[in-house]
Amino acid sequence: MKIDTVCIIDDDPICVYGTKILLNHNNFVSENIMVFEDGYEALTNLTSYLKNGQPMPDIILLDLNMPVMNGWEFLDKFQEMIFEKKPKVFIVSSHFDQAEIDKGKSYELVCDFISKPLIAKNLTDIIAMSKVKV
């Protein structure tokens, strides 16, 4: 089964490009891929979508280390929003430690941590996990 909308929040254009290629070439996404370069841009746009009754993405692939607003700051604000259907957030980072994993588990929306670079197997796992209610 395909996911309708995936949101990539990452400031690294190479990672974004690679993720989009994986999503498109492996037929994981049937509708839309949203891309935001930092947490602030993502929060502003997703808040606007929510206020206008537009659907939220099914899955958010979130980098932690970004300028302007990092992944943690994004999650702090994003979790305060009220959703009809909650997106599933997967933290995608080149490195994270146990403290970050523990912190991530404190957010209801966070499903898992995935190491960069993403590979097709990661996306298959994400699709499988996204079918389970958060």
Express each pLDDT in 53-71 by its tens digit. Answer: 888 899 999 999 999 999 9
Residue 127 burial (CB count, 10 A): 18
What CATH homologous superfamily does 3-130 map to? Response regulator (3.40.50.2300)
pLDDT digits (tens, 9 = 90+) for 76-102: 999 998 878 889 999 998 877 888 888
Q: pLDDT higher for 97 or 74?
A: 74
Q: Which residues, in sequence order, are CB contacts of 112 under 8 Å at separation 6+?
A: 90, 91, 125, 126, 129
Binning pLDDT at 50, 70 and 90, where does residue 2 land? low
Q: Contact, 77 vs 104, CB < 8 A?
A: no
pLDDT digits (tens, 9 = 90+) for 99-129: 888 898 899 999 988 888 887 877 777 777 7
**pTM for this structure?**
0.89
| DSSP helix/strand/coil, 38 | coil
Specify the range with the lowest mean pLDDT, choosing from 11-15, 22-26, 67-71: 22-26
Is pLDDT above 80 for 20? yes
